[in-house]
A = this chain, B = another copy of it.
Amino acid sequence: MVRDEVVRSATRLFKERGIRGVSLQDIADEVGLTKGALYHYFSNRDDLLRQVFGDWITQEFESLREHTSGSGGPTAQLRDYVRYHVSSVTQNIDLYSLSFSSEAELPPDVRAEFRQLKRRSDSVLKAILREGVAAGDFEPRDEKVMAFAIDGMCNWLSQWYAPDGPKTAAQIADDFVELLLRGLVRHDDGPTDSGPAHGAVATAEYHARAIRFHSERLEQLLPTLADRGGAGA
């Protein structure tokens, strides 16, 4: 289909140079048509923009609704949310990065739809957080700030994710979840809660390394402990 080819080329060009940085001539050249021919498929520039974004946004709305059905505890829900969000961004990275970067250049109606999508996604996340706190699973924190932090983390993917990179989107998502749930600081309580992605061998190596680390640290600390009896500054 020629129309789809045009939309795809347009999307790619928009992403590379920004919406305002691409002329209809550029798109026509890319597809191998003349500027005039484009008007057979689109009534004007904004209409093209609408076709580029419109379908995608409504699709995202649907997808968001499906993937956040709210089964499982807050932890599982948060995990699902992040996984969904990450896969969504990585699969439509062109459109995501475009929407974030050139939001101001979108036709008003498209822009409004996009903002609504963001808002809805945000409110889903906040609900999960609230639930988690209420259930006693999460520490009570500033809901708004946490939501923005999490969304920012995920959305930022559109700025650096490379499909041919060493990590899959799913792996990145799980890394995010682990960071979000447990933080960076090493602590010794129970087993990790994160999904099945943890291999047994990797886990064993990890623990072996951890033991070595802690042993060394402990030895280093012993003399210190001998000197001062209490807690240091």
Contact = CB atoms under 8 A, between A and B. Distances in A.
**Copies of this protein chain in the complex:** 2
A25 interface: no
Given A207-B217, A210-B210, A221-B203, A182 B180 contact: no
Interface residues of A, number: 85
Interface in A149-186: 149, 151-157, 159-160, 167, 172, 175-176, 178-186
Given A100-B159, A146-B184, A167-B142, A221 B200 contact: yes
A69 interface: no
Contact of A152 (B153, B188, B207): B153
> Chain A's interface: helix, strand, loop or mixed, by majority?
helix
Interface stretch (A12-20, A45-53, A56-64): A12-20
A185 B139 contact: yes
Contacts of A210: 140, 186, 188, 210, 214
A37 interface: no
Contact of A138 (B103, B149, B184, B208): B184
Contacts of A212: 188
A144 B97 CA distance: 20
Contacts of A206: 140, 188
